[in-house]
């Protein structure tokens, strides 16, 4: 799921980059990677396909910690303990790739490798995240990242008239 | 741990007993390490000496197996083993706070003593082949089990028949465990010609060459913490761990700097080479504690 490519910062019509969450070539069905996304506590300096399922064999431990069901696996000799996070309703995870540009080159502009235009290659509804040695916990920063979602929701949700009414009645402000 | 001690304690176990402890598979780069023990009443000592248990390394494989079968069927002898899985060896030796092999060995031997005592065997003398400094090892064991007299010695397996017996228990168990090993990995073209597992064995070397994997390293049968693996890892895909520390170049004061992790996995956008995790630094506390960073470029 890693892409290691340099992106250009040349604005095109003021747009620095774009992300398309629908594959342009709609004849290919969207690849669903639910249960296949693993967040490891290390950096693997490799991008590309790999026979993960033949080597990486997580096992359920049957142990629950703070309501998280703990799984075990190993990677490069290290013991990993992790858990599956199902993304909240209304959210999805996406694997992005550099947008393939029809034709060899765009009429005028940067070659494909230098563009900052992305498209969706796969989507997923869960992430397995893994700690080295430590059991997963609700206080893990990765787990806590999800807290941002309801906060962002509250901050960016459009305010309706009734919300305003309720808020103003709380503070005793008269509405005209 | 496994053993085939009878479920009901034999009568002789309530007489003062002696026990020997030895290990097999400490050196090999693959497979489990096995701790074995053999115990009997002290009054059986002379008979035991006549059973011709020599140090297991000096015996042929068939002879060892034969002796193991004999001692298993001998009702005047008890035995037990602790099989330490290579996954456990690797994991412990590569923990954030590393546990060295001597410590793992000591804990295993100590566990066997505890196990046999818990069964109700009246252990009074225990002979142990040493790992590390014999006197420190003896103190450690004596403190834990004050009722037992410990003799910790180099080459105990050739000095005390009860330890020779334990070495046969351990060695045969280790050989069988490797022989019957079922590889976790399901990749094609894997085979089981492991050889002895010793780093110098050409068959073992060939097996390592045949089973190395650029990303995963090796099957989990291999002890990743062994020095033998290091030259292989240098040629494979580099993997950086949060727990790895790198020496500051040219620092003689032993200054170490924790590897900074930056965007582990999620995006591969190249930043400073050692930064492999996002930090959320400079943002408000909510983001900082969650290591959430704003990203405008991938």
* B129 assigned binding-site residue: yes
- pLDDT tens by residue, B263-272: 444 444 444 4
Lowest-confidence region among B43-47, B58-62, B291-295? B291-295
Q: Is residue A86 part of a domain?
A: yes
**Is the model more confident about B87 or about B244?**
B87
CA distance B285 to B32: 47
Q: Where are the alpha helices (DSSP H) in chain B?
A: 45-49, 61-73, 86-93, 101-118, 134-144, 156-159, 161-179, 202-211, 230-235, 285-289
Residue B176 is encoded by which pair of tokens? 């069988």
Half-sphere exposure of A76 (CA within 13 A, CB side): 21
A2 vs B contacts (CB less than 8 Å): 265, 267-268
Report yes or no on A107 lying in a domain.
yes
Query: A46-71: per-residue pLDDT in tens?
Result: 998 999 999 999 999 999 999 999 99
Predicted local confidence at residue A17, as pLDDT: 79
- Point out which residues pair with A130 in neighbouring strands: A82
Hey, are the CB atoms on B91 and A39 less than 8 Å from each other? no
Q: Which domain holds residue A82?
A: 18-137
The Cα-based distances of A150 to A87, A90, B266, B291 in angstroms read 12, 11, 21, 17
What's the burial of A116, exposed, middle or buried (CB within 10 Å: 0-12/13-18/19+)? Answer: buried
Domain presence at residue A85? yes
Q: Does domain B11-179 have CATH number 3.40.50.720?
A: no
Interface check A101 vs B, CB under 8 A: no
Residue of B nearest to A98 (CA): B298
Q: How confident is the model at residue A2 (pLDDT cuts 50, 70, 90)?
A: very low
HSE-up of residue B275 (Cα within 13 Å, Cβ side): 9
| Chain-chain contact of A4 with B270 (C-beta, under 8 angstroms) | yes
Q: How many angstroms separate the CA atoms of B251 and A36, rounded?
A: 43
CATH number at residue A50: 2.40.128.680
Task: Kindly list the residues from chain B whose CB atom is less than 8 angstroms away from the CB atom of residue A152.
Answer: none
Confirm whether A131 is domain-assigned.
Answer: yes
Residue A6 falls within a domain, yes or no? no
Cβ–Cβ < 8 Å for A37, A93: yes
Residue of B nearest to A19 (CA): B298
Q: Are B117 and B123 in contact (CB under 8 A)?
A: yes
- A79 touches B at CB < 8 Å: yes
Q: Where are the domains of chain B?
A: 11-179, 240-298
Q: Is the ipTM, as predicted for this complex, more than 0.90?
A: no
Q: Does residue A102 lie within any of the structural domains?
A: yes
Chain centroid to CA A35: 13
What percent of chain A has a predicted confidence (pLDDT) above 90? 41
For B94-145, give the DSSP string.
Answer: TSSS---HHHHHHHHHHHHHHHHHHTT--EEEEEEE-SS-HHHHHHHHHHH-
Paired residues of A81 in beta bridges: A72, A131
Q: What is the mean pLDDT of chain B?
A: 86
- Report how far residue A174's alpha carbon sits from residue A158's, in angstroms, rounded to the nearest whole number: 22
B245 close to A (CB below 8 A): no
Q: Tell me the pLDDT of chain A averaged across its residues.
A: 81
Burial (CB count <10 Å: 0-12, 13-18, 19+), residue B209 = exposed
Nearest-CA neighbor of B41 among B107, B116, B114, B106? B116
pLDDT confidence tier of residue A145, bands split at 50, 70 and 90? confident
- pLDDT for A10 equals 53
Element (H, E) at A126: strand A126-132
Q: Name the CA dihedral angle for B86, B90, B95, B98, rounded to a multiple of 10 degrees.
A: 100
- Torsion angles phi and psi, residue B80, rounded to 5: -155, 160
Q: Judging by beta carbons within 10 Å of its beta carbon (0-12, 13-18, 19+), is residue B70 exposed, middle or buried?
A: middle
Does B239 contact A76 at a Cβ distance shorter than 8 Å? yes
Interface-testing mutation among A5, A51, A76, A138, with chain B (most B C-beta atoms within 10 A): A76
Within-domain flag for A8: no
pLDDT of residue B65: 93
C-beta atoms of B224 and A76 within 8 A: yes
Q: Tell me the pLDDT tens digit for each residue of B81-131.
A: 999 999 999 999 999 999 999 999 999 999 999 999 999 999 999 999 999
B254-280 as b/e: b if 16+ CB within 10 A: eeeeebebbbbbbbbbeeeeeebbbbb
Q: How many domains does chain A have?
A: 1
Collapsed DSSP state (helix, strand, coil) of residue A144: helix
**DSSP character at residue B14:** G
Q: Classify strands A68-75 and A42-44 as parallel, antiparallel or unpaired.
A: unpaired
- Please tell me the distance from the alpha carbon of residue B185 to that of residue B235, in angstroms, as a whole number: 21
Number of helices followed by number of strands (H, E) in chain B: 10, 8
Residue with tokens 């115990």: B39
Give kind and range of the element (H or E) at residue A65: strand A59-65
């Amino acid at each position: 799921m890693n892409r290691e490519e340099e992106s250009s910062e040349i604005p095109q019509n003021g747009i620095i980059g774009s992300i398309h969450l629908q594959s342009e070539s709609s004849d290919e069905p969207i690849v669903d990677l639910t249960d296949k996304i693993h967040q490891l506590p290390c950096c693997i300096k490799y991008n590309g396909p790999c026979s993960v399922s033949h080597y990486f064999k997580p096992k359920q431990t049957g142990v629950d910690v703070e309501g998280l069901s703990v799984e075990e696996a190993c990677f490069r000799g290290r013991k990993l303990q992790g858990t599956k996070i199902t993304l909240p309703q209304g959210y999805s995870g996406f694997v992005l790739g550099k947008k393939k540009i029809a034709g060899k080159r765009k009429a005028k502009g940067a070659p494909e490798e230098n563009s900052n235009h992305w498209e969706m290659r796969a989507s997923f509804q869960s992430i397995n995240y893994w700690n080295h040695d430590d059991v997963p916990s609700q206080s893990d920063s990765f787990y806590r990242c999800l807290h941002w979602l309801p906060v962002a929701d509250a901050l960016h949700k459009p305010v309706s008239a009734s919300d305003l009414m309720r808020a103003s009645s709380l503070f005793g402000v008269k509405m005209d | 741990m496994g053993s085939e001690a009878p479920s009901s304690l034999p009568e002789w176990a309530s007489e003062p007993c002696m026990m020997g402890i030895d290990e097999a598979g400490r050196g090999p780069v693959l497979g489990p390490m096995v701790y074995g023990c053999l115990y009997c009443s002290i009054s059986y000592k002379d008979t035991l000496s006549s059973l011709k248990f020599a140090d297991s390394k000096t015996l042929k494989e068939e002879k060892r197996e034969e002796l193991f079968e004999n001692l298993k069927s001998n009702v005047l002898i008890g035995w037990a083993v602790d099989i330490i899985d290579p996954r456990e060896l690797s994991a412990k030796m590569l923990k954030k706070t590393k546990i060295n092999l001597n410590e793992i060995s000591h804990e295993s031997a100590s566990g066997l003593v505890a196990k046999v005592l818990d069964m109700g065997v009246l252990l009074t003398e225990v002979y142990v082949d040493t790992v590390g400094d014999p006197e420190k090892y003896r103190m450690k064991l004596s403190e834990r089990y004050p009722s037992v007299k410990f003799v910790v010695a180099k080459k105990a397996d050739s000095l005390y028949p009860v330890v020779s017996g334990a070495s046969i228990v351990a060695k045969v168990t280790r050989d069988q465990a490797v022989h019957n090993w079922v590889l976790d990995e399901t990749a094609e073209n894997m085979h089981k010609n492991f050889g002895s597992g010793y780093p110098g064995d050409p068959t073992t070397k060939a097996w390592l060459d045949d089973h190395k994997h650029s990303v995963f390293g090796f099957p989990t049968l291999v002890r990743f913490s062994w020095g033998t693996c290091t030259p292989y890892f240098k040629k494979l895909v580099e993997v950086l761990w949060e727990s790895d520390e790198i020496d500051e170049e040219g620092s003689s004061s032993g200054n170490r700097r924790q590897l900074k992790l930056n965007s582990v996995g999620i995006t591969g956008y190249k930043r400073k080479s050692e930064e492999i995790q996002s930090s959320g630094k400079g943002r408000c506390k909510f983001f900082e504690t969650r290591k959430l960073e704003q990203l405008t470029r991938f």
